[in-house]
Amino acid sequence: PLPRPFTVPLPIPRAARPVAPNRYELTQRAARVEIIPGTTTEVWGFDGTFPGPTLELRRGTPVTVRVRNELPVPTSTHLHGGVTPADSDGYPTDLVVPRGRTFRPHGMHGHHDPSAWTLHPEAKDYVYPVEQRAATLWYHDHRMDFTAPQVWRGLAGIAIVRDDEDDALPLPKGERDIPLFICDRAFEEDGSFRYPSLDPTLLVRPGVEDAYMEGVQGDVILVNGAPWPVLDVATARYRLRLLNGSNARRYRLELTGGARFVQVGSDQGLLAAPVEHTALSIAPGERFDVVVDFSEYPPGSEITMVNTLGEGGTRAVMRFRVARRVRDDSRVPERLADLPPADRATAVATRVFDFRRTRHDSHDAWTINGVPYRPGMPVAEPRLGTAEVWRFASDFHHPVHLHLAHFQVLARGGREPEPADAGLKDTVDVRPYEIVDVLVRFDGYRGRYMLHCHNLEHEDMAMMADF
Ligand code: C2O
Ligand code: CU
Ligand code: CU
């Protein structure tokens, strides 16, 4: 039986502890954890936890994360939102293969060239320079053709980059700065995760049953790995780092009791100025950094975060219970950060990417510009240090994500961007039959990176491309 909503306390994932200065080790392994009270679920987690340990990063302090794979399948780990050299970026065919396993590269979309695969036995060191602004990032599996089931089983965690500029603001801090990793899952009666894989060993045949072509959703909403949790809060402002880690579910988040979200940051950190929302739509991969003020609510009040796109169990997300009075000297300043102007004229090229379902070898695939993913065949070769306008078109909901490069939304549906499009982003929700223009800056490193749909089933079904 599922728990009554708002009875399980909100967990806060523990911070990853360095094994040496600026060195971390995360072991991917199976573990049984209690998600639904009274039963256990086998997760595949970083250090056996879901979400994994939070990586606390500081701008200007590079770190090395050794990922050791003790699972029965290969993995690739990507720091989503990270400005990372290509060989540490979690390329889908750059795999860590568990000890004692032989792994034969294969794939859903024709015969991959074996030279396109790099196999690391047991472990790999991922190097993150962290030369980037403070922001809420996350890390997750990125294995070719099997990202969706491997993330569903638990291979994901939060990463927070902090810097002096963000620290200097009078925003809520410490215990009032809380990451909320939101995702949906479904469960079998025995407590195990339910997922419609064609091959539950995840070793041979990729893909999901036809009925799940549009993506896999669950009927239980988890926040930081707990079903519909409750958090006791004080009469104060809280900074909530909302992250949609779902495979395919979009949420429209609202607070009951007239509470509002004051957005201070997006995927890539602080906005220029706060933006107030009564509702926030969040697509897979996106993050919104918001401040919620509970100071007007007397102790005993309950404020529920709901998903107005959901019904039944997927309508509830979590609850805040005002438990005590405190003095609060945090505030949200009128100016938050200096952002570069989003000036179309700085673009040296314009490219169009059409995200659409197309027919391929007598079956349907999710494609970009009609072409299913081919590792090693770039669809664009922008120059480091330049900016381009990328235009995304779609036939369905496709949250479009770019590795390495960050962007600003220039136009949505031929009109001005919407208030929630503000700031620097790495993932943008492209809605059915919509055209979204973004100004992308290619900074950081040369190399092979990816753009893809962050509906993870679409990604596995080939809606990905190299640039
Ligand atoms: Cu969050 Cu390429 O992914
Ligand atoms: Cu990414
Ligand atoms: Cu998609």
Tell me the pLDDT tens digit for each residue of 283-295: 999 999 999 999 9
Using a pLDDT cut of 70, give the percent of the chain over it.
98
Average pLDDT of the residues in 102-112: 60
Atom of ligand 1 nearest to the CA of 90: 2
Residue 110 has pLDDT above 70, yes or no: no
- What are the tens digits of pLDDT across the range 341-381? 999 999 999 999 999 999 877 788 899 999 999 999 999 99
Q: What's the 37 CA to ligand 3 centre distance in angstroms? A: 33
Query: What does pLDDT average to over the chain?
Result: 96
| End-to-end Cα distance, the chain | 46
Q: In this predicted structure, what is the pLDDT of residue 361?
A: 77
Torsions phi, psi for 388 (to 5 deg) = -135, 155
Q: What is the C-alpha separation between 274 and 270, in angstroms, rounded?
A: 9
pTM of the prediction?
0.97
Residue 17 has pLDDT above 80, yes or no: yes
pLDDT bucket at 112, cuts 50 / 70 / 90? low
Residues with CB under 5 A from ligand 3 (ion): 398, 453, 455, 458
Q: What's the 12 CA to ligand 2 centre distance in angstroms? A: 23
- Helix then strand then coil, % of the chain, to nearest 5: 10, 45, 50
3-state secondary structure of 364: strand
Q: In this predicted structure, what is the pLDDT of residue 107?
A: 53
Q: In this predicted structure, what is the pLDDT of residue 108?
A: 44
Residues having CB within 6 Å of any atom of ligand 1: 78, 80, 140, 142, 285, 401, 403, 450, 452, 454
Q: In this predicted structure, what is the pLDDT of residue 103?
A: 78
Residue 168 has pLDDT above 60, yes or no: yes
Q: What's the 356 CA to ligand 3 centre distance in angstroms? A: 8
Q: What's the 232 CA to ligand 1 centre distance in angstroms? A: 32
Residue 113 has pLDDT above 90, yes or no: no
Average pLDDT of the residues in 130-138: 98
Residue 131 has pLDDT above 60, yes or no: yes
Q: Which residue's alpha carbon is nearest to atom 1 within ligand 1? A: 80
Q: What's the 359 CA to ligand 2 centre distance in angstroms? A: 27
Cβ atoms of residues 195 and 152 within 8 Å? yes
Which ligand is closest to the CA of 367, given by its number? 3
Atom of ligand 1 nearest to the CA of 452: 2
